[in-house]
Amino acid sequence: MIEIKNISKRFNTADGIVEALNNVSLSIADGDIFGIIGMSGAGKSTLVRCINMLERPDSGTIEIDGCDIGKLSERKLRTVRRDITMIFQGFNLLMQRNCLKNVCFPLELSGVKKSEAKKKALELLDIVGLRDKAKAYPAQLSGGQQQRVAIARALATNPKVLLCDEATSALDPTTTNSILELIRNINEKLGITVVIITHQMSVVESICKNVAILDGGEVVEQGTVSEVFTHPKSKAAQNLVFPEMESGSAIINKAGDRIIRIVFNGASATETPLIARMAVQKGIEANIAYASTKSINGKVYGSMLLGITGDKEVVKSAIDYLTRTSDVMAQEVENYG
């Protein structure tokens, strides 16, 4: 259990004081996959760096399983960091070490015997599907493979918590999905609590159970993913759920329509578009109010807002129909606009 209580953090910069975090409180349950989403500069990295005390908050406390880690000595803190490991946007592998030695790194630090460390590292490389790359150097791997090695390294000390700071932001959608899949597996199989920092909606939607929205250093909304994304209350949440609002483009929508939000997360593109098929097969006419989708390698990514004239039943059967296709999520949204 991670309890973040009223933490604030300011930075003195050349342009004056930046309030990176302002009275942030969150609690993250064991075994959760918790998303922290926000625009650039919202304070996400600062928050996650506070969770392992790489950054000390000016005020407030962080408790991990009831232990206030802000009160620990540097030495104790270093032991705690073996339980709260981290992966990064830039992977941050040691470039002069091969993959195996990279995974051994945390074990070396904690004084594990060489032969044992090697055995453990090979097991972990197996888990992330890169056993055959043990002798390869990071420069010889793709970004996705490097992140897998970084994940193996993060798992080496059997952590309780895995912090992911924009771990998939440097990767293409297909690789992103495979990394998220790996993280989900780790969460399920090893029971590790995962904290995911991202600015991408799709990441939160496809993996997180709970989410907090950070805006200007404050938590403006939090709850389960479906709750927050179907009823976005704050402006920041609405901007994330309806990116079109931010860009200011008008949404073609008839008054009184119900709105369904669809997220394509690598669904196979078919010859007949999904919405057209729904109209033919279900007789549900949908008006596309907004669409921002792109097709990569025959897979569709992005989101869409549908306006549907009709009652709850119609909407429900539309959602049932839409979500039958794999990698498509659909939800009715309220508070839109």
Partner 1 sequence: MGNDIFSSEALFEAWQIIKTQFPLAIWETIYVTILATVFAILIGLPLGILLVAGEKDGILPLPSWLLQILNVIINLLRSVPFLILMILVFPLTRLIVGTVVGTTASIVPLVIAAFPFVARLAESSIREINPNIIEMAQSTGASPMQIIIKVMIPESVPSLISNATIAFTTILGYSAMSGIIGGGGLGKIAINYGYYRYKYLIMILAVILLIVIVQIFQSIGTYLATKTDKRLKRK
Ligand X SMILES: Nc1ncnc2c1ncn2[C@@H]1O[C@H](COP(=O)(O)OP(=O)(O)OP(=O)(O)O)[C@@H](O)[C@H]1O
> Could you say which of 33, 35, 45, 212 contacts Mg ion (CB under 5 A)?
45
Asked whether 190 and 123 are in contact (CB, 8 A), the reply is no
Please, which residue, 199 or 258, has the CB nearer to ligand X? Answer: 199
Question: Residue 303, interface with Mg ion (CB under 5 A)?
Answer: no
Q: What are the structure tokens assigned to 10, written together?
A: 């300011």
Sequence-distant (6+) residues with CB within 8 A of 187 are 31, 33, 193, 194
78 is an interface residue for partner 1 by CB under 8 A: yes
Residue 213, interface with ligand X (CB under 6 A)? no
The SS3 call for residue 303 is strand
188's CB contacts (< 8 A; 6+ apart) are none
Given a contact cutoff of 8 angstroms between Cβ atoms, the answer to whether 30 and 14 are in contact is no
What is the residue type of 131?
R
**Three-class SS state of 156:** coil
Choose between 46 and 265: whose C-beta lies nearer to ligand X: 46
Q: Does 54 participate in binding partner 1 (rule CB under 8 A)?
A: yes
The correct pick among 40, 272, 297, 326 for binding ligand X (CB under 6 A) is 40
Under rule CB under 5 A, how many of the chain's residues touch Mg ion? 1
Strand partners, 275: none
Q: What are phi and psi of 223, to 5 degrees?
A: 160, -165
230 is an interface residue for ligand X by CB under 6 A: no
Tell whether residue 168 is a contact of ligand X (CB under 6 A).
no
Contacts with Mg ion by CB under 5 A lie at 45
* Interacting residues toward ligand X by CB under 6 A: 11, 13, 18, 20, 38, 40-46, 199
Give the interface with partner 1 as residue ranges (CB under 8 A).
52, 54, 75, 77-82, 85-86, 88, 90, 92, 94-98, 105-106, 108-110, 137-140, 153, 157
